Structure 1
Amino acid sequence: MRGSFMSYLTVGHLYTALHAACASGVARVIEANGEDVAYADLGNEERLQALDEGEIDILVSAWFPQDEDILKHGHEVIGSLYHPELNFSALTSAGKGQGWTAGDFSSLVTTAEARPFVERVLERRADLKELPFEVVATENVLSRLKQDEEAGKCPLVAVWQPHAVFHTDMLDSLPDGDLLDGQVQTARLVLRKGFRDEVDEDLIDELSIMMLSNKVMSALDHAVSVDGMGPEEAAESWQRGRLIPR
């Protein structure tokens, strides 16, 4: 938030490793334009209120179209940071491919964020309802899948990408496993109402063309949630080409 005695921008983000790392990546662009950055960790239900009340200048990030209610409040949406995907996947070691069926798997493992989409598919795929259904915390997905692999189990997995697990070679997406029915999701930046008039247009332009990709975001998530880096350290490592070979 800006004012006569403040010379920084406040970036809000969900309190997860993925979103914190994304916010730090965006902050590096802001800082390169001569602005200092403060961060605000937000719960999912706090994001819109923080924008409405001017507590944050930029929200990093919102996923559209599922967050389209934000548009009703007059805030500006810019950019296209990455495109979240949601597919059924299987452990690479299991070697599953064309023609997979429920009988190939020991359980169905998902997260709370992915569960509504999975349940929609279960309405059409009665065979999948026979699998033990397990909801795992997003931050525990990687360790859980390692346990299953070591135990010789073969779960059917539904986890939003980007995620740290996709920075490894543990999972392969299954053919005909799209849980979004072809719908494209886009992670975008949200500027609070009136923000554009308070900053240099060059900053807005640079943020508008910034791209991270699912591959970069998965690497950032892995750096923070698995390797123990701080979000800012991970963002710097990415910028210097240390997380993903260029």
Structure 2
Amino acid sequence: MTTISLGYLRNALHAGCASAVARVLDAHEAEVEFVDADPGELPGLLDEGAIDLLVSAWLPRDADLVQHGMRVLGTIYRPYYCWGSYEAVSSAAELSGDSLDALFVARSDAEKLQQVLAQTPNLSGLTPTICEDEALFGTVQGAREAGRKFVVFLAQPHALFHDEAFQPVSDPRFSEEMEAALLVRESVAACADQDMLDELSEMTLGNKVMSALEYAIQVDNMDPEEAAEAWQRGRLVAR
């Protein structure tokens, strides 16, 4: 039996994606070894050959990961940065620090937000509330229940978008989608089952499913494998 080491970032979003991919590997009778990592650990693990398949690299942001003996296998969803709000806001130009109580951001996106705020004078007077990544959902929901007016800077997909009332705010600076790519080690691809590689290269979850997977894991307290099974059986979102 072939063993595939499946690497992913150590958070609910990527854990859900990895478990969904693992179901494809299982169907092709491959034994899966999960390898979770922080972003800074990935280059070293790739150089060591500790990861055969990576779920997932956000290209072009993570293009440097391809340089570690990997190649792009397929695009599984299309993330992008955005403002998110429960208010009816049609564009970022309508956002104003004078009319908002708070601006929330996950710690992993805080540096990106600072770059954006330097070019967003209408929000310059608003001090961001930085949340630990796994705490962003609960913090935002608490602010909503308290009746506060706020905006969130985040990447879509996210568990917050599982609620259709939470919508991205149009901003032309964030109109370009990235590609969340599966990366496979070149040496593994050379000897792996071609049917399995073909299925993986065509596999698409999409942002809606990814948001639902993260919601199931982070909010409904499913483990990633349980959430992936629920998706496969059509119980997370309409397929």
Q: Report TM bin, short chain.
A: over 0.9
What secondary structure does 1:130 align onto? coil
Aligned residue number for residue 3 of structure 1 = none
Aligned residue number for residue 228 of structure 2 = 235
Aligned residue number for residue 100 of structure 1 = 94
- Of the three residues 61, 68, 83, the one matched with 2:63 is 68
Q: Distance between the aligned counterparts of 2:137 and 2:165, measured in 1?
A: 9
What is the one-letter code of the residue matched to 1:100? Answer: E
Alpha carbons 1:88, 1:178 under 8 Å: kept: no
Alpha carbons 2:78, 2:178 under 8 Å: kept: yes
Aligned residue number for residue 194 of structure 1 = 187
Unaligned runs of 5+ in 1: 1-5
Deviation at 1:166, TM superposition (A): 0.7
Q: Distance between the aligned counterparts of 1:113 and 1:65, measured in 2?
A: 17
Deviation at 1:25, TM superposition (A): 0.4
Q: Alpha carbons of 1:7 and 1:21: their partners in 2 closer, same or farther (altered >3 Å)?
A: same
Aligned CA RMSD, in angstroms, stands at 1.7
Deviation at 1:51, TM superposition (A): 1.8
Aligned residue number for residue 54 of structure 2 = 59
Aligned residue number for residue 131 of structure 2 = 136
- 1:37 to 2:26 alignment: no
What secondary structure does 1:113 align onto? helix
Q: Distance between the aligned counterparts of 2:69 and 2:3, measured in 1?
A: 23
Q: Distance between the aligned counterparts of 1:101 and 1:191, measured in 2?
A: 41
Alpha carbons 1:89, 1:172 under 8 Å: kept: yes
What is the one-letter code of the residue matched to 1:75? Answer: M
Q: Distance between the aligned counterparts of 1:232 and 1:24, measured in 2?
A: 5
Deviation at 1:80, TM superposition (A): 0.5
Deviation at 1:178, TM superposition (A): 4.8
Q: How is 1:167-178 mapped onto 2 (pairs within 5 angstroms)?
A: 167-175=162-170, 177-178=171-172
- 1:89 to 2:84 alignment: yes
Alpha carbons 2:46, 2:69 under 8 Å: kept: no
Deviation at 1:68, TM superposition (A): 0.8
Q: Distance between the aligned counterparts of 2:10 and 2:67, measured in 1?
A: 24
What is the one-letter code of the residue matched to 2:88? Answer: G
- Of the three residues 112, 118, 125, the one matched with 1:123 is 118
The answer to which of 198-207 and 116-125 deviates more is 116-125
- 1:79 to 2:62 alignment: no
Alpha carbons 2:66, 2:183 under 8 Å: kept: no
Q: Distance between the aligned counterparts of 1:178 and 1:189, measured in 2?
A: 27
Aligned residue number for residue 142 of structure 2 = 147
Deviation at 1:234, TM superposition (A): 0.6
Deviation at 1:225, TM superposition (A): 0.8
- Of the three residues 41, 47, 50, the one matched with 2:45 is 50
Unaligned runs of 5+ in 2: none
Q: Distance between the aligned counterparts of 1:23 and 1:209, measured in 2?
A: 15
- 1:245 to 2:231 alignment: no
Deviation at 1:121, TM superposition (A): 2.2
**Where in structure 1 do 4 or more consecutive aligned residues deviate above 4 Å?**
none
Alpha carbons 1:216, 1:244 under 8 Å: kept: yes
The one-character-per-residue Cα deviations of 1:54-83 (angstroms, maximum 9, x if unpaired) are: 112111111111111122233111100001
Q: Distance between the aligned counterparts of 1:245 and 1:69, measured in 2?
A: 35
- 1:163 to 2:184 alignment: no
- 1:216 to 2:209 alignment: yes
